[in-house]
Structure 1
Amino acid sequence: MNTQTNPSASLIQIVRPALVALLSFTVITGMLYPALITGIAQVIFPSQANGSLIVDETTGVVVGSALIGQEFTSPSYFWGRLSATGPVPYNAAASSGSNYGPLNPALVGADGIVQTRITALQAADAAVGITNPALIPVDLVTASGSGLDPHISPAAAQYQVARIAILRATDTATIQALVDEFTEGRTLALLGDPRVNVLRLNLALDERYPLAEALQ
């Protein structure tokens, strides 16, 4: 009786299940599962699945994402948080904080980031003839950990109301009402803090109180 086995046959018996498993899981986890999840997301959460894009209703053009901030430097707009991403602010490909310690002179020194921002805010107010007695909220003079935060606190928005009202030729109560309208509550009423999306707020500002009319 021949008890010898064929090495080639044994190798095939070992390799075949491994190849079948590899191909099966490649198809299931690499194609079917992603396609299923993508399909569900497109049906249930189409906006979030596509990046929470914000579209200008008058032009139909995508102007940004509700999840990524944009830099506003004109005094006629609400300013968001600082951004430490490079080479440009709010660079989604280089999300990061400044990594400065709380006592680093580059952050809190006489010519540091915080003081430079304070000076810019005060200069913007002085340019329209006002002196803001309120304390400047910390989120207006510091960057977020990601450098991409699209929100500011309601206090940070309120700090800028008087300046915006003058430049938009309206009253502070009207601009404050707009801020209140765009103030989002805590997530699930529990997580985080109330916040204002700066891009959405500025788009509404342009829509309701256009600069062209304010300058007439």
Structure 2
Amino acid sequence: MKQHILPAVRLTLVTLVFFSGIYTIIIFGIAQITPFKGRGEVIEAGGQKYYANIGQKFTEDKYFSSRPSAVDYNAAGSGGSNKGPSNAEYLAVVQARIDTFLVHNAGIKKTQIPVELVTASGSGLDPDISPKAALVQVERIAKMRNLPAGKVGDLVESNIQGPLLGLFGPSKINVLKLNIALDQLK
């Protein structure tokens, strides 16, 4: 028994030191070389401060819609709905989101709605949408703001962020930054 307890205690101590100290210092060091030093990107607009890396709620038709949130965009309670794709309650929520989207975006067919506009992300705080999800909203926003659709579409195109290092992940658009740019559009 002594043969098993001593190695287990040693392994526990080594693991404790590594993950409580060494690993933490390594990750902290990596964060210091990122653009915002691991603190998140703070944007100031309209006298308020927002975190660009946390999803924001936009309900007015004159703004691009964010991805739905299962936690109502509460960063303290990050999480998904934990309901499977065959759950009746989940399907009803998604159908309600589809119906709402179709009411606010006349002329769009159900098959044209990108999935991220009607399903919540795993964290409930996703700040980005795909270029397709932004482009499907252009007509509504142009109409609400009395702007040419081409001008709004150009704004969307100018806000597309390519994959990380040109290789990793999809192209995306930060909804907060896009809506701030939209407010500044004349």
Q: CA deviation at 1:49?
A: 3.3
Q: Which runs of 5+ in 2 are unaligned?
A: 1-16
Of the candidates 142, 145, 148, which is equivalent to residue 122 of structure 2? 145
Q: Provide the residue aligned with 2:107 in structure 1.
A: 131
Q: CA deviation at 1:46?
A: 5.7
Q: Which runs of 5+ in 1 are unaligned?
A: 1-24, 210-216
Shift in alpha-carbon separation, 1:161–1:47, aligned structure 2, 3 A? same
Q: What's the secondary structure of 1:55's corresponding residue? A: strand
Q: Deviations over 1:29-56 (max 9, x none)?
A: 69xx69x949x92xx5463433211122
Q: Provide the residue aligned with 1:12 in structure 2.
A: none
Alignment RMSD (CA, Å): 2.3
Which letter maps to 1:102?
P
Q: Is it true that 1:115 corresponds to 2:95 in the alignment? A: yes
Q: Deviations over 1:69-122 (max 9, x none)?
A: 01111111100111011xxx11111111111111111121xxx11111111111
Q: Provide the residue aligned with 2:54 in structure 1.
A: 68
Shift in alpha-carbon separation, 1:145–1:208, aligned structure 2, 3 A? same
Q: CA deviation at 1:202?
A: 0.5
Q: Provide the residue aligned with 1:201 in structure 2.
A: 178
Of the candidates 25, 37, 40, which is equivalent to residue 51 of structure 1? 40
Q: Provide the residue aligned with 1:100 in structure 2.
A: 83
Which of 131-140 and 185-194 deviates more? 131-140
- TM-score in terms of structure 1 length: 0.69
Distance in structure 2 (CA, Å) of the matches to 1:45 and 1:53 = 14
Distance in structure 2 (CA, Å) of the matches to 1:200 and 1:105 = 35
Q: Provide the residue aligned with 1:5 in structure 2.
A: none
Rg (Cα) greater in structure = 1
Q: CA deviation at 1:172?
A: 1.0
Which letter maps to 1:49?
G
Q: What's the secondary structure of 1:47's corresponding residue? A: coil
Q: What's the secondary structure of 1:54's corresponding residue? A: strand
Distance in structure 1 (CA, Å) of the matches to 2:62 and 2:51 = 21
Which letter maps to 1:51?
G
Distance in structure 1 (CA, Å) of the matches to 2:132 and 2:161 = 13
Between the two structures, name the one with larger relative contact order (CA 8 Å, sep ≥ 6).
2
Distance in structure 1 (CA, Å) of the matches to 2:59 and 2:177 = 16
Q: What's the secondary structure of 1:72's corresponding residue? A: coil
Distance in structure 2 (CA, Å) of the matches to 1:45 and 1:52 = 11
Which letter maps to 1:141?
V
